[in-house]
Amino acid sequence: MNNININEAKKEVESMLNAGMVQLTPSELKKELDDLGYKISNVDSFNYFNNGNKNKYNARHVYIISKTDKNSFAHVNSDNKKNLPALQKIRYSCFVFEKNRIWEL
């Protein structure tokens, strides 16, 4: 990653914080998900370059699944619907910034 991308990522993080979003560490996110019965699927998560926003940056798409049935949190047959509102609150209000990459939940 070059310095331009790092600076753009930092600008985006600043913008997210100014908008009221909460920055979590990877461990904090994993704990929050675990408490709700979810986890990150490393097989289905992937890195990419986000060029759709004002700031262009390296990102990570985080694929969240139910710990019990392994379906995506959004799958129609997911067995963890009772915790979906709490998960959505995390997804809409939190992010992770690690190794100059923004995790998009």
- pLDDT of 3 reads 65
Q: Which tens digits make up the pLDDT trace of 47-99? A: 999 998 888 999 999 999 999 999 999 888 888 889 999 999 999 999 999 99
- pLDDT of 53 reads 83
Residues making up the chain, counted from first to last = 105
Give the pLDDT mean for 12-24: 97
**CB proximity list for 46: less than 8 A, separation 6 or greater:** 60, 61, 63
Give the pLDDT mean for 19-43: 97
pLDDT at 28 over 60: yes
pTM: 0.90
- Break the chain into its structural domains and give their ranges: 3-104
- pLDDT of 45 reads 97
